[in-house]
Amino acid sequence: MKKELIQRIIIDYQNKKQQKLTERDLKIEFIPNMAIGIVGIRRGGKTFRTHQLVSKLKEKITIKNICRIQFNDHRLQNIPSKELHIIDESYYSLYPEKRDIEDVLFVFDEIHRVKGWEDYILYLLESENHKVVITGSTATLQRGEFASSLRGKFFPIELYPFSFKEFLKHYDIKKDIISSKGRSFLQNNLETYLTQGGFPGLLNIAKERHFDLLRNYWDTMLLRDIIEAHSDENINISLLRYFSDSLITRVGCPMSVNKLAKTIKAAGFNFTQDTLYRYLLYLSDAYMIHTVDIFSESERVRARNYKKVYCIDWALANAISYGAGVDKTRALENMVYIELKRRGYKVNYYKTRDDFEIDFVVTNHNKEIELIQVAYSLDDEEVRNREFRAIVKSAGFLKSNSSMVITINDDFIEVVDGVLIKIIPVWKWLLE
């Protein structure tokens, strides 16, 4: 690889006019001698988040202190890892006065395409003046594999699709929760957010294109982040698709791989149960789905109880689900789950011996427990009694002093058998 090519790529980016992008809420803070990894679902906005980071840093340092390389550039195809050192050599040949004097940010997008790239990152981190940011979506850059490859020199930050706050920010909508007009406007936009979801690519295109684009996203994720990422396994594509679609159809519902295996075998597929467990892991590692365990300190209890499954984006789940898709109550529950994960909570579900279920048992960093139910509306007395009774039955046993029911638009406080329950509209909760 020629040094002149790398220099041209570096300078071309430095001279490129930065486009105006909706600012994301995900904060990026550097840790000495560690690489930052922006990880998450494909098409979730990781690359654009690095552009925003560069724009922000330009307020403190010159653009010449930033070296960005995108490894999906066709000019960098087939670059061997042993030649990656030419990147910093090319940079410092342009700016020799900065070596060991000024902080330099290296941004590597899709570097996982280079086999053996990890050692080069470790080499860069030997200098205290180097800051490194990496992005990627494929399985080689996910969760534990990413961290272990860099021998503890990696700090992952997970980026989710747009939150409701970011959604409003994109459309320049003020968060007025006081006036009647402002509240009505937020309610209407919440309905749009619930239908459209949070993928950045859908924000400025016609509604009639959304379903097709989301299905395309899903197909690309299956192909690139699972099938190609595990090419040595010879994955059964038809089985993978049937299994993944079956999971998404069950968003917010109890799921057992054992029971699902019987249904899939009845459809004519031949496989071992271990295959489905492996596919489930791949889907989770690709950030496409999340599974939720029952709340229990016992690993044995968690293992023998069913899991609940959620999609990374409720509109994506609706687009690829069978038949009528995901109903509005389960879509709302999925939305709440993703927001809880975005806020950094540990999330479980709970079921009493009387068969009352708590949608989310939420644990914060102080080990405080909050019980959260999700219902589209509490107008139906049967629904109201079911949601309240589950909280009352669980609050004392789980030692929780905080309980709420999130709905589409109800807003009041109820005390049931001495337990205070806050009922809050989802648009207000999302803006807290």
What are the phi and psi torsion angles at 251 (to 5°)?
-50, 130
* Sole residue written with tokens 């271990």: 274
Give tens-digit pLDDT for 128-165: 999 999 987 654 555 555 556 677 888 888 999 999 99
Phi-psi region of 307 (alpha: psi -120 to 50; beta: other; left: phi over 0): beta
CA distance to 30, 129, 322, per residue, from 285 (Å): 24, 32, 23
pLDDT at 229: 84
pLDDT at 144: 53
pLDDT at 264: 96
Question: Using an 8 Å Cβ cutoff, are 24 and 52 in contact?
Answer: yes
Of the candidates 323, 325, 305, which has an alpha carbon nearest to the alpha carbon of residue 315?
325
pLDDT at 90: 97
Q: Which residues of the chain have pLDDT under 70?
A: 1, 137-149
Rounded Cα–Cα distance for residues 357 and 109 (Å): 43
Beta strand 412-416 with 419-425 is antiparallel
Q: Which long-range contacts (CB under 8 A, 24 or more apart) does 356-359 make?
A: 356/386, 356/389, 356/390, 356/393, 356/394, 357/390, 358/295, 358/390, 358/391, 358/394, 359/333
Rounded Cα–Cα distance for residues 37 and 149 (Å): 12
Give tens-digit pLDDT for 64-99: 999 999 998 889 988 999 999 999 999 999 999 999
CATH 3.40.50.300 placement within the chain: 3-159
Tokens of 61: 């340092």
Tokens of 271: 């496989």
Q: Which long-range contacts (CB under 8 A, 24 or more apart) does 408-417 make?
A: 408/190, 408/332, 408/376, 408/377, 409/187, 409/377, 410/377, 410/378, 414/388, 416/388, 416/389, 416/391, 416/392, 417/392
Tokens of 351: 């079921």
Which residues is 420 bridged to in the sheet? Answer: 415
The answer to whether domain 209-326 has CATH 1.10.3720.10 is no
Name the CATH superfamily for 3-159. Answer: P-loop containing nucleotide triphosphate hydrolases (3.40.50.300)
> Which strands, in side-by-side order, build the sheet including 419-425?
346-351, 357-363, 369-374, 402-407, 419-425, 412-416
CATH 1.10.10.10 placement within the chain: 209-326
pLDDT at 137: 63
Question: Using an 8 Å Cβ cutoff, are 110 and 134 in contact?
Answer: no
pLDDT at 139: 46
